[in-house]
């Protein structure tokens, strides 16, 4: 079993400090957190996941940033030839908060909970 969430809440103090103290987005400085990095050391696969709830879309700058990072990582992994696969950047959007209260989309395609489990488990070829 995966280690359980300890706090159940997210600490936002450092996030606010970054927004208050570092350059403004007007200067082309962009800040985002990434929700999950999934990694399976047996299958040698990894991917980035951004999750949104209440049918919110990923911000355009986030999509550009994470897609570009994914491209750079993919190019590097391809050159390593050590058996690892980077499966890219993916977006999960919940209609509300989870599967029990609404629909879910993976990369803009509606999926069931079981389909998402299979995709995120990093075991499929």
pLDDT in tens, 62-76: 999 999 999 999 988
Q: What is the mean pLDDT of the chain?
A: 90
Cβ neighbours of residue 38 closer than 8 Å, sequence gap 6 or more: 46, 47, 48, 49, 120, 122
pLDDT in tens, 48-57: 999 999 999 9
pLDDT in tens, 17-46: 998 999 999 999 999 999 999 999 998 999
**67 token code pair:** 């897609």
Cα 71 from Cα 25, distance rounded (Å): 23
CATH 3.40.1350 fits 32-120, yes or no: yes
Q: Taking phi first (over 0 means left), then psi (-120 to 50 degrees means alpha), and beta for anything else, what does residue 122 get? A: left
Q: For the chain, give every domain's residue range.
A: 32-120
b/e burial code for range 81-117 (CB count within 10 A of at least 16 → b): eeebbbbebbbbbbeeeeeeeeebbbeeeebeeeeee
More confident residue, 83 or 103: 103
Cα 50 from Cα 94, distance rounded (Å): 11
Q: Provide the pLDDT for residue 22.
A: 95
**109 token code pair:** 């395609």
More confident residue, 9 or 88: 88
> How many other β-carbons are positioned within 10 Å of the β-carbon of residue 15?
12
């Amino acid at each position: 079993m995966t280690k359980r969430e300890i706090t159940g809440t997210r600490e936002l103090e450092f996030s606010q400090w970054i927004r208050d103290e570092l350059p403004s987005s007007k200067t082309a400085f962009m800040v985002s957190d990434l929700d999950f990095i999934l990694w399976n050391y047996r299958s040698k696969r990894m991917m980035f996941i951004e999750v949104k709830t209440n049918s919110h879309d990923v911000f355009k700058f986030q999509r550009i940033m994470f897609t570009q990072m994914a491209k750079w990582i993919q190019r590097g992994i391809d050159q390593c030839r050590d058996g690892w696969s980077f499966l890219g950047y993916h977006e999960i959007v919940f209609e509300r908060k989870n599967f029990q209260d609404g629909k879910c989309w993976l990369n803009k395609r509606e999926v069931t909970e079981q389909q998402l489990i299979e995709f995120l488990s990093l075991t499929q070829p």
